[in-house]
Amino acid sequence: MVSLVVLLAIALPAMAQQYDSLTPKLQDFIAQQQLFFVASAPLSADGHINLSPKGLDSFRILSPHGVAYLDVTGSGNETSAHVQENGRITLMFCAFQGPPMILRIYGRGTTVLPQSPKWDALYPLFPPLPGARQILHVEVTQVQTSCGMAVPLFHYQQQRQDLVQWAEQKGEDALKAYRQTKNRISLDGLVTPLGAVDGPGKA
């Protein structure tokens, strides 16, 4: 007679696996993905949880315990505000082609601005994207994989160039003015690192 344990092993997807760093196999999986997601939240119980998709070859693995992504100018700046307040950040990679898998990186984030000494060491690792405003550096505290069997299969075409073209057309002076208007205060009133540098303002 087949045991209950064997039946469950056959019937259920693989259980989540936890790691304390990014193994070479996990790094290879990340390198194959064209898209990742970033989640963060303020400490306030009434605060807005933020979830953002990222592309444009903007992610780099620095070591098994450290990653970073180049953040370009956009209409909001929630992640940066949240990590400045509490440091919490989660990154998610998901297989939309090939074998199913979801990979989450849990960590402590910091914002690196162009004025920071860290900028000169990190920025050359990325393509020179127009509108680059900051780098999010993440110290990896835990990594978890899960099955991802319910995620649909999609065919990758190419990276969108809309944001790049928008930044090129605006120019650096207009981008700086845009960031001072849109990127200094979070939805919940938290001052972002950009706001702290540029002075008080209102989004």
Contact 23, 64 (CB under 8 A): yes
Q: Is residue 129 part of a domain?
A: yes
The CATH number of whichever domain residue 186 belongs to comes to 2.30.110.10
Q: Is residue 202 part of a domain?
A: no
Number of domains comprising the chain: 1
Nearest to 181 by CA among 168, 200, 162: 200
Place of tokens 């087949």: 2
Q: Is residue 6 part of a domain?
A: no
Tens of pLDDT, residue by residue, the chain (203 residues) = 445 444 444 444 556 899 999 999 999 999 999 999 999 999 999 999 999 999 999 999 999 999 999 999 999 999 999 999 999 999 999 999 999 999 999 999 999 999 999 999 999 999 999 999 999 999 999 999 999 999 999 999 999 999 999 999 999 999 999 999 999 999 999 999 998 875 443 33
Residue 142 belongs to domain spanning: 14-197
Place of tokens 């981008």: 175
Query: What predicted TM-score, i.e. pTM, was given to this entire model?
Result: 0.89
